Amino acid sequence: MFKTFEETKKYCIDNGIQMVDFKMIDIHGRWRHVTLPTDRFVPDTMVYGIGFDGSNYGFAPVEKSDMIFIPDLTTAALDTFVEIPTLSMIGDVKVINGEGPHPFDQEPRNVARHAEEFLRASGIADEMRIGPEFEFHIFDRVGYNTNPHSVGFRVDTSQAEWNSGDSDGNNHGYCVANKGGYHITSPHDVTYDLRSKICTLLEARGVPVKYHHHEVGGPGQVEIETEFGSLLEMADRTMILKYVVKNAAASVGKTATFMPKPLYAEAGNGMHVHMHLFKDGKPLFYDKEGYSGLSLLAHYFIGGILAHAPSLCGFTNPSTNSFKRLVPGYEAPVTIGYATANRSAVIRIPAYATAPEQKRFELRSPDGTCNPYYAYSAILMAGLDGVENQIDPREHGWGPYDFNLYTLSPEEKAKIHGLPKTLDEALDALEEDHYYLTKGNVFPEKLIQVWVDKKRSEARRVNQVPHPAEYELYYDL
């Protein structure tokens, strides 16, 4: 929004801004923030930054936890969810050594910057443009507990089919059947006005929206798809979108979640990532003679992603809940392969994107529990490794799979490689296969080690908690 401190300060004075809020990204992909009265926002803030404890962000041990952040004025925007007029902006994390502040190499925005720099230095392209599809649930209420004597959760929304028999006077009979929500209209689509409000807020925050609609999941599953942007730009937009969605829902007494699988036996929430490369403004993925209009370079890029698909899941699907979504029968991918218009393949080439500048493909495995800066950067690094090593997916038997992968016989399925089935499997793959991420020190080895350790700790905790289904299965044995 701004280029200089003077522009920013003048805007604050002219518009009665009383607080300046700075947001940073922790290792997991959550925003943290600290706020200054506008009078305390001074030129020195842009030079010396504001100190904070990096150990609480998951990046550093307590004994080496002093860090600073420097505001990125270009990300400044009004925060419409607070009472006091507030200007909000993202901060870049730096550490101090004998030579002064320098970028912290594990910080998410810095990783994304390094990935884009690596792309340009490769000479292959100068920009990767990506466009995620954001699926999420909007519920009326949620509750959960993990006590030693009581474990469970409960969510509800008025449109869910389990409320069709309610007779409390609030039931109008327009409930949505299981997996019957795709593109439904009012009066079944009870979150339509909220989604339109969210999209209006996103546009005001510099996040262009392509469209929104109700998704397959009957109990409150929806989708917002945004226009394309560069890697770092889209990672920032991803954070903004999640912030706007959650706060807009809370403002009307509802709750939103990007959990991949909040409901059993219903469609899960993916974050499909469309992507293509450009050089000097020209698209590199188009070739009218190639399969589905894709160039050989695009095939190599696909080959790199498929070659590293299991380890990529360590960053694109970094939760135990992620792998409850990646199961057959819910339009979520489970096999390593690519095809045109095939939603059972992990990479789908949209049949409707035929113009040269639109020619692209989507990776269907990622979900909203990822840290977008790490996930988008990892996808880019995998694709570039495929180009560098000329990994043609056709030569490795990864497709094209122009048939339904869910309906194969057991013998045919055994011939096709699958995605990891658990978070631990994905982390095993990441530990064994991450050389492509460390090229150019885009992903420092230390970051991968810290990431794996933290995610294994999460998996252990979930694995150790008794599950309600275990009572159903084993209590009477």
Indicate the helix (H) or strand (E) that contains 316: helix 309-316
Give pairs for 200-208: CB < 8 Å, separation 24+.
201/80, 201/244, 201/248, 202/226, 202/240, 202/241, 202/244, 204/77, 204/78, 204/80, 205/77, 205/240, 205/244, 206/1, 206/77, 206/237, 206/240, 207/237, 207/240, 207/241, 207/244
Query: Which sequence positions are flagged as catalytic?
Result: 53, 133, 135, 215, 223, 272, 343, 362, 364
Q: For residues 404 and 342, what is the distance between their CA atoms, to the nearest angstrom?
A: 7
Alpha-carbon gap, residue 309 to 322, rounded angstroms = 14
For residue 326, give the amino acid letter: L
> 444 — phi, psi (to 5°)?
-60, 145
The answer to whether 426 and 336 are in contact (CB under 8 A) is no
The first and second tokens of residue 295, run together, are 């160039």
**Which among 201, 190, 199, 183 has a CA at the least distance from the CA of 140?**
190
Among residues 329, 346, 337, 325, the alpha carbon closest in space to that of 422 is found at 325
> In terms of DSSP bridges, do strands 86-97 and 209-214 run parallel, antiparallel, or are they unpaired?
unpaired
Q: What is the DSSP letter of 212?
A: E
Could you give the angle at which helices 309-316 and 445-464 cross, rounded to 10 degrees? 70
Q: In degrees, to the nearest 5, what angle opens at C-alpha 370 toward C-alphas 36 and 141? A: 75
**Cis, bond preceding 187 (omega within 30 deg of 0):** yes
- Rounded CA-CA distance 295/449 in Å is 36
